[in-house]
Amino acid sequence: MPEAAYKLLGGKMETSSLRIRSVIAITLMVLFYVMAIGIAVGLILIPYFEYESGIMHIKLDLFSFIFGAIILWSVIPRKNKFIEPGPELKAEEHPKLFEIIKRVSEKTEQKMPSRVYLIMDMNAWVMENSGFLGTKKERILGIGGPLLHAMSVSEVEAVIAHEFGHYYGGDTKLAPFVYKTREAIERTLGGLEGSLMQLPFLWYFKFYLRITQKISRAQEYAADKIAVLIAGKDAFISGMEKLSEKSMAYDYYWKNEVIPVLEAGKRPPIYSGYTKFLKNEKSMNDIREFVTKSEEEESKEDKIYSSHPPIKERIEAAKTFENSSKNNDNRVGSILINDIEKLEKEIFIINFGEQAEKLEEVDWNGVKAVYYLKEWQEFYEKYREVGQNSFIKDYSEVFVDKESQIYINLKEKEPTLNREEADEYARAVIKITVTNALLKNGWELKKEIGEEIHLIKGEKSINIFVEIEEKINDTKIWEEFVTNNEIGDIYCQE
């Protein structure tokens, strides 16, 4: 162990841990290959022994040989080609970020990464890009643009220190053995899918995951300890608290805010939109509730097969670690990257190729609400005539009169619908029909980041996803709703 790193860790981290993990990983790899090759050779030899005995079963011999060949082909190690995940960051162009990386490198006495990339995810990682079975190693660090926008400078330093903890612990040296073995098992399972021959490999895969994921969780705790010692307990814990919440926020933002705009052939500014999304209290409260519920519902089985310990457990463990005395830099982490908006475009081109270059750039003010109604428009084109020829005020009667024209029209379109399905379709038809009628009568669609789509006219506002569906089931509530918004006497027709 390097002397400076040993002092940094208070002389308490056992140097034997890497050796133990290495022995376990290599043993598991050897066991798998012995099992796989043994089974494969045994299967391939079945036709030979049957031939020698003079009694052959053609189907058995054929399937034995095929399964044996599949297993042998599956376990041959593949060389993984490294694909650049984003634009490479240079020290001379981003000195603030590299100042932190260098400081962490010196404190842990670990070599600087050969390459640093800005990536699309709310994540950071390290790896050693290597050739066959770990030769020609090159250290690489990836850090996410969303992460830089969601965390402070000190929290980003804690993240980088955690990643260097993986270098320090030798985790990236073990990775080629662990992942290549896992890939070989997965290829074998895929090749044997649907056959009984899959069972021993499925059992071993579960066993392998239980052991290697337990090692991985221990590696995370060890890397957390280094992060606390270098960046401070406060920065690490606040970063962890943000991680699960804001990762979920980014996934939601990407799926529900960004993708519909991309599908419309436009490219909005992703990072500035994400920053705005994080400031939407309603959306963030919903996400916090979802994260809390997910953590509570996580089963023991989920934890066993997870590569990372639960965030709550990592935070509780961090509270017991030795702390460094450090003033926190609460400036947003994105200041560490120069011209990040330009790099955002490069990420798109690297990850999506020519398609990204064809997208028209728009700011969020130029994003139209109609981009988010693609599925509605498709549904409307199919069922547009079902809900026509009625006043808006009369639509609540549909759920009272089970023989209403809407149900008759739906049955003609979809004769296999049961009652519950017909009700669901009827609500969708009414929402779309009412929306289109209001648009023809001076109402406008409005969409803000993190908000649902509203119909706006003057001071009046209607949430088309929620209000119409909630109020349509009750005649009195619907009557009050349409009266207050002065829409009851609007007639819906083509």
How far apart are the C-alpha atoms of 328 and 232, rounded to whole Å?
8
Question: Which SS3 state, helix, strand or coil, does residue 18 take?
Answer: helix
pLDDT, tens only, 35-94: 999 999 999 999 888 888 888 788 888 989 999 999 999 999 888 788 899 999 999 999
pLDDT, tens only, 185-217: 999 999 999 888 999 999 999 999 999 998 899
How is 77-141 classified by DSSP, letter by letter?
A: --PPPP---SPEE-TTT-HHHHHHHHHHHHHHT-PPPSEEEEESSS-EEEEEE-SGGG-S-EEEE
How far apart are the C-alpha atoms of 196 and 67, rounded to whole Å?
11
What pLDDT, on a 0 to 100 scale, did the predictor assign at position 442?
A: 92
pLDDT confidence tier of residue 291, bands split at 50, 70 and 90: confident
pLDDT, tens only, 407-462: 777 778 888 878 788 778 888 888 888 888 898 899 998 888 988 889 999 999 99
pLDDT confidence tier of residue 16, bands split at 50, 70 and 90: low
Query: Which tokens hold the place of 74?
Result: 């599956």
Q: Is the dihedral of CA 109, 115, 120, 125 positive or negative?
A: negative
What pLDDT, on a 0 to 100 scale, did the predictor assign at position 223?
A: 94
Question: pLDDT at residue 486 above 70?
Answer: yes
Mean pLDDT of 24-45: 92
CA distances (Å), origin 456, targets 108, 245, 462, 485: 57, 31, 7, 10
pLDDT, tens only, 229-288: 999 999 999 999 999 899 999 999 999 999 999 988 889 999 999 999 999 998 999 999
pLDDT confidence tier of residue 293, bands split at 50, 70 and 90: confident
Question: pLDDT at residue 308 above 80?
Answer: yes
Query: Which tokens hold the place of 201?
Result: 């490999």
Mean pLDDT of 110-127: 94
Question: 59-68, 299-308, 312-321: lowest mean pLDDT where?
Answer: 299-308
Question: 59-63, 67-71, 105-109, 114-118: lowest mean pLDDT where?
Answer: 59-63
Mean pLDDT of 466-476: 82
Question: pLDDT at residue 134 above 60?
Answer: no
At position 100, the amino acid (one-letter code) is I
Mean pLDDT of 310-338: 89
Q: Is the dihedral of CA 273, 279, 283, 288 positive or negative?
A: positive
How far apart are the C-alpha atoms of 488 and 477, rounded to whole Å?
12
Question: pLDDT at residue 334 above 50?
Answer: yes
CA distances (Å), origin 364, targets 37, 122, 197: 57, 21, 54
What pLDDT, on a 0 to 100 scale, did the predictor assign at position 366?
A: 81
pLDDT confidence tier of residue 167, bands split at 50, 70 and 90: very high
Burial class of residue 382 (count of CB atoms within 10 Å of its CB; 0-12, 13-18, 19+): exposed
What pLDDT, on a 0 to 100 scale, did the predictor assign at position 131?
A: 56
What pLDDT, on a 0 to 100 scale, did the predictor assign at position 14?
A: 47
Question: 137-151, 368-382, 461-475: lowest mean pLDDT where?
Answer: 368-382
What pLDDT, on a 0 to 100 scale, did the predictor assign at position 5?
A: 47
In the numeric block, the tokens 């990643």 are attached to 163
Q: Select the more confidently predicted residue: 289 or 368.
A: 289
Question: 34-38, 121-125, 149-153, 469-473: lowest mean pLDDT where?
Answer: 469-473
Q: Are 143 and 118 in contact (CB under 8 A)?
A: yes
Mean pLDDT of 26-35: 93
How far apart are the C-alpha atoms of 146 and 152, rounded to whole Å?
12
CA distances (Å), origin 388, targets 173, 395, 396, 414: 66, 10, 14, 17
How far apart are the C-alpha atoms of 109 and 167, rounded to whole Å?
10
Find which of 36-45, 165-174, 377-386, 387-396 is predicted with most confidence, using mean pLDDT: 36-45
